[in-house]
Structure 1
Amino acid sequence: MGSSLSCCSSEKVDQGYSGTAGGGNHPWRIFTYKELHAATNGFSEDNKLGEGGFGSVFWGKTTDGLQIAVKKLKAMNSKAEMEFAVEVEVLGRVRHKNLLGLRGYCVGTDQRLIVYDYMPNLSLLSHLHGQFAPDVHLDWKRRMKIVLGSAEGLLYLHHEVTPHIIHRDIKASNVLLDSDFEPLVADFGFAKLIPEGVSHMTTRVKGTLGYLAPEYAMWGKVSESCDVYSFGILLLEVVTGRKPIEKLPGGVKRTITEWAEPLILKGRFRDLADPKLRGNFDENQLKMTINVAALCVQNEPEKRPNMKEVVGLLKGQDRPTMMGTRMESIKYKDELMVMDQNSDNDDDDQDGIDDDNDESRHHDDSGAYGVFGAMEAPKMRDPYKRFGNARGINAKLT
């Protein structure tokens, strides 16, 4: 965004209307720090929705009654500055009903804040593995709605916006859910804009272990196909209710593809379904979704479908080229697996990694909670009780 990021202060800044957020018609604008401070009750701990290496996210309410989520960056180093600039740049470009767009931002001498619409049903992760998982709000129909909407958001990024955008951090905590459980793909801090005619790039590894395509995790080769791989892992996660990486007795860690592959080869599709569904799912849709996931997580990028093909398959417009395909489970290098902390505590979210400047990779949970994802249940108060949101989960189910 460069010089267009005007400084925020206690003085009123002219409203910079120049786009629409997500798929809506509302404009984004420059907020003052004073506005956001008031909206979040002084960035009160009671208003905190989530926290990660990037900083914290707070619930707020503007003077005109709009509920917002304010992402307040913690560190103002060059890395954080770049991720902030990238996210604002990308969010200002995207206009799709399944992408969380920009509501506004604020920039000061030592402050960087991004403003989004508040999503009353929080993240997909909070329903699969977090504080709402025991309540099983995600029935089969909602799960299929979530995966299709997420796929359509990615299709837009890869094929419809110019330049094309690679998200690079597709995961459950970065799929937010509105009051109708409509999915919105969020958190574009790691996104890459791909110039026309460029098939792939070599870059530093950023993202979340368990979702990373092998060519990206090992060699930093990034393309739209990396997002396809991550989406395939997400498909498996939604259908099975399992984490991308889980810890077994004895401390051994197993990827979701290692667990699923033997069942797929034996045709035991029903055994792949999340037990919390209690058998209430469409078996044909289950088989179709698993086969699409298997195509997406092929080791070689050229064997994976693109997102146009994935959407067609999920809609039933096309048929997979290989039904009952073999899911080629990958093995991450030991040094990468050591960094993964997500299954050491079942309430924790997946941790991010960042190959920042040389061959050593270090732990980085800057993407751990996405925009506002699952907090550990004991640390997270019920947002619907706290904020009196009549559109919350319980209201939708009655």
Structure 2
Amino acid sequence: MRWGCCGSEETDDINVAGNVKKFSYKQLSAATHNFHPSNKIGRGGFGIVYKGVLKNGTRVAVKTLSAESKQGSDRKTIRLNWERRSAICKGTARGLAYLHEDLEPPIVHRDIKASNILLDKNFKPKIGDFGLAKLFPDNITHISTKIRGTTGYLAPEYMLGGKLTKKADVFSFGVLILEIVSGRSSGKPSWGGIQKLLLEWVRQLYEEGQLLEMVDPDLEGFPENEVIRCIKIALFCTQATASRRPTMSQVVDMLSRNTQLNEKELKVPG
């Protein structure tokens, strides 16, 4: 599925830059049947996402921006059991693997976070908000760019030096897993009774062999070994050195198969 980018209401032209196309408001309105409620597939912090079909048969997802809404202000508290949380992790991982490894050229999202993962009525995840995304040709090792994204999710090499690779998305996804498991925000600066970010706290719990302490207290009857394994996968994704992080296809494999994790390769900073 492609993501449509809305242009001006007055124009009906399509601007093409490489594989990226801009569509007019008129075209996107027609594709979504005037943004009919039956085509609504999700809601993000900035507006509603609709499914649609262009004249040539291409399926698209169109995000409308709401001037009245504020990022993160339109939220409902929903209790998610472990089965749903695990499915959200796996589905998001598959989506990122598609962006990184199946598209040509690949796409680095640059802003993977909880509010950009949209859930449909069946809690199936869809990656949204490609406003910061970068096309990433395979023949280069990294892109030097201005630092954009959300504090708490940014990989250290990107945050400190503006060095962007696909592994920046992997780091952000690891933080997202920790939020899904814990039910807590990565940006809150106090965990475990001390001034630590969520990732720092989880690293400490790993060293102490107490990972279950970070699990959402509202999560009942969960399979402990499976949850601990998921947390460890998140720690693999958030290793300080980018080259030590897995690719997203490897993450999908780790989440989907009950293979043994090689924790000797897991280097957790103090």
Indicate the TM-score class for this superposition, using the shorter chain for normalisation. 0.7 to 0.9
Matched, 1:180 2:122: yes
1:8 counterpart residue number: 9
Matches within 5 A, 1:214-229: 214-229=156-171
**Aligned mates of 1:147, 1:69 — CA distance in 2:** 17
Q: Can you give the 5+ residue segments of structure 1 that lack an aligned partner in the other structure?
A: 17-27, 41-59, 74-91, 93-100, 105-113, 117-124, 330-398
Contact kept in structure 2, 1:158 and 1:165, CA below 8 Å: yes
Q: Distance in 2 between matches of 1:154 and 1:255?
A: 24
Greater relative contact order structure (CA < 8 Å, 6+ sep): 1
Alpha-carbon offset, residue 254 of structure 1: 2.6
Deviation digits for residues 73-105 of structure 1 (CA, Å, limit 9, x no counterpart): 9xxxxxxxxxxxxxxxxxx9xxxxxxxx7345x
The 1-side partners of 2:269 and 2:116 are apart by: 25
Q: CA offsets, 1:32-73, max 9 Å, x none?
A: 29959xx99xxxxxxxxxxxxxxxxxxx527xx5347799x9
Paired with 2:235 and 2:227, the residues of 1 have a C-alpha distance of 12
Could you say which residue in structure 2 is the equivalent of 1:61? 36
Q: 1:319 aligns with which of 257, 260, 265?
A: 260
Query: Secondary structure of the residue that 2:141 maps to in structure 1?
Result: coil
Q: How does 1:351-362 map to 2 (within 5 A)?
A: none
Task: Quote how far apart the aligned CAs of 1:316 are.
Answer: 1.6
Q: Secondary structure at the match of 1:102?
A: strand
Identify unmatched segments of 5+ residues in structure 2. Answer: 15-21, 47-53, 66-70
Counterpart AA for 2:26: T
1:32 aligns with 2:56: no
Structure 1 residue corresponding to 2:245, chosen from 275, 284, 304: 304
Q: Is the 8 A contact 2:108 2:169 kept in 1?
A: yes
**Aligned equivalent of 1:141:** 83
Shift of 1:326: 4.8
* Corresponding residue for residue 233 of structure 1: 175
Normalising by the residue count of structure 1, what TM-score does the alignment of the two structures yield?
A: 0.53
Identical pairs, percent: 34
State the alpha-carbon separation in 2 of the partners of residues 234 and 210 from structure 1: 10
From the CA coordinates, give the structure whose radius of gyration is larger: 1
188 and 34 in structure 1: CA distance in 2 versus 1, 3 angstrom threshold: closer
* Contact 2:116–2:129 (Cα < 8 Å) also in 1: yes
Q: Aligned-pair distance for 1:196?
A: 2.3
Which of 110, 115, 132 is matched with 2:76 structurally? 132
User: Is 2:155 the partner of 1:205?
Assistant: no
- Which of 201, 211, 221 is residue 280 of structure 1 equivalent to? 221
Matched positions, count: 238
Judge conservation of contact 2:42–2:118 (CA < 8 Å) in 1: no
TM-score normalised to structure 2 length: 0.76
| Separation in structure 2 between the aligned mates of residue 290 and residue 5 of structure 1, nearest angstrom | 38
Q: What residue is the counterpart of 1:394 in the other structure?
A: none
- 2:60 aligned partner, one-letter code: L
Q: Equivalents in 2 of 1:164, 1:67: separation in Å?
A: 27
